[in-house]
Amino acid sequence: MPVIYAVGINMKSGKAAWTIKYSLLNSTYFIAFCTIHAYAAVYLLAHGFTNTQVGILLALANISSAVSQPLVAALIDKPGPLTNRGFIIFSVLAIMAGSGLLMLVNENKVIIFIVYALIYMIQFTYQPVMTALCFEYQNRGADIMYGLSRGLGSAGFAVTSMLIGGVVEKRGVFVLLIVNVFAMAASLVAILLFPKLSEEAGNRDAKGGNIGGVEDGAKDGARKENANKDAAQSSLRDFAKLYPAYALFLIAVVCFFFAHNMINDFMIQIIRGLGGAERELGRANFLQAILELPVMAMIGVILKKISAKKLLLISGVAFLIKIVILIFAKDMTAMYISQSFQLFAYALFIPAAAYYVSETMKQHDQVKGQAFITTAITVGGIFSNFISGRILDSLGVKAMLITGTAVCALGVVIAFMALGRKKS
């Protein structure tokens, strides 16, 4: 069997050890994600950007990540030096460097625009790679509880948001960069705890090969020939032909996250319209994120009762209810009620989508499958960013929310068309 290289760790570590390592990776990622994504509008508005400019910056960052995600996934899927682990290490170091640069630049809006967009893009780009990393190491024998680990990531986001909202209100947005750098440093430690797979083992296990067995030359040649044949079907067009229900569902995902990103990216403006500020923003983000933990932790049990397809449909309806409530909101109580639907929306969607890809796609397509989900999420954000900022500046919060509701409702219809059938 191929040798696996590690420092003080081997693949025989128990479930608790592997889950702790992957949970640390998720938690530190989402702590940083909170400071850059959840507080993006807060940071940028504090540096003199308008809502429209914020929307343009986030849209360009999302466009960049929408392009980079499948490209990175395709490179990782091919035999070669680039691995899930290696790309995560690169991403963490790049984000740390960018955050450090932003600490030194306080008034140059052009530099802030470029660097912030790059950080935002890189964070989105390596999110599906972390999911693929989990399934890659699971395939090598690592016993990782994905749902619990991902839920603890949401808990990290929740606690960070609760604590940092009041601090930002008192101390200013510089603290967001400080927290981001420390979180990325901890992320670097977390990913280095994962053993480095040998090149042969990594290519075979993560990219479609046989796991842990020894084959003779004829079988190995046949396997490579089949892998190459399958790889030829993994362009975007051929991918859609191979998985048509999944491809249609991606359109629904764009619609869901048009509404979801509209709320998250401009939540500070929605909250200010309801009489709140950064402290209330922290509480609202805490509520929605902490509710993700029990659902994600119990996803294995839930999936035994309800299929991943049905969970994705339930989540789509919940995304719709969440934004409809905000149209009629009069105070922060309604905001908190809306955020509580995160329990059935995002909290169900993320693990259900990961398992749906894992269950329905060939192994060598799974990295791309995870990446296309994240790309669809990102594309939803692109349209949301371009449109929401302009509507907000010209027509106000309610018009923005009505637009988001219409788009999300369309997504629910498409999702039922894609996944509602028995054979999808």
What pLDDT, on the 0 to 100 scale, is given for residue 222?
Answer: 39
For position 320, what pLDDT does the model report?
A: 97
Domains of the chain as residue ranges with CATH: 13-207+234-419 (1.20.1250.20)
C-alpha neighbours within 13 Å on the C-beta side of residue 60 = 12
Tell me what pLDDT residue 335 has. 93
Element (DSSP H or E) covering residue 4: strand 4-5
Report how far residue 292's alpha carbon sits from residue 113's, in angstroms, rounded to the nearest whole number: 31
236-243 CB contacts, 8 Å cutoff, 24+ apart: 236/70, 239/365, 239/368, 239/372, 242/365, 243/360, 243/361, 243/365, 243/369
pLDDT in tens, the chain (424 residues): 333 334 334 555 566 888 899 999 999 999 999 999 888 989 999 999 998 999 899 889 888 887 888 788 888 877 777 888 999 999 999 999 999 999 998 778 999 999 999 999 999 888 888 888 888 888 887 788 888 888 888 888 888 988 888 888 888 889 999 999 999 999 999 999 988 876 544 444 444 333 233 233 333 343 344 444 444 344 667 777 888 888 899 999 999 999 999 998 889 899 988 988 888 988 888 888 888 778 877 888 888 899 889 999 999 999 999 999 999 999 999 999 999 998 899 889 988 988 888 787 777 777 778 778 877 887 898 889 889 888 998 999 999 999 999 999 999 999 999 987 655 5
Label the pairing between strands 196-197 and 4-5: antiparallel
| CA 138 to chain CA centroid, nearest Å | 20
CA–CA dist 55, 313 (Å, integer): 29
Spatial distance between the Cα atoms of 67 and 421, rounded to a whole number of angstroms: 31
- Cα–Cα nearest to 57, from 100, 2, 118: 118
**pTM exceeding the 0.75 threshold for the entire prediction:** no
Q: In angstroms, rounded to a whole number, what is the distance separating the alpha carbons of residues 91 and 108?
A: 24
Distance between CA 218 and CA 237 in Å, rounded?
32
What's the rounded Cα separation, in Å, for the pair 277 and 298? Answer: 33
Q: Under a CB-based contact definition with an 8 Å cutoff, are residues 191 and 89 in contact? A: yes
Please give the pLDDT value at position 65. Answer: 83
Alpha helices (H) along 214-291:
217-231, 236-242, 244-265, 267-273, 278-290
- CB contact at 8 A, 30 and 157: yes
CA distances from 57 to 40, 120, 248, 269, 348 (A): 10, 10, 28, 17, 29
CB 101 within 8 A of CB 44: no
Q: Indicate the SS3 state at residue 21.
A: helix
**Distances from the Cα of 29 to the Cα of 183, 185, 189, angstroms:** 7, 10, 12
Contacts of 92 (CB under 8 A, 6+ apart): 184, 187, 188, 191
Report yes or no: 312 and 356 within 8 Å, Cβ to Cβ: yes
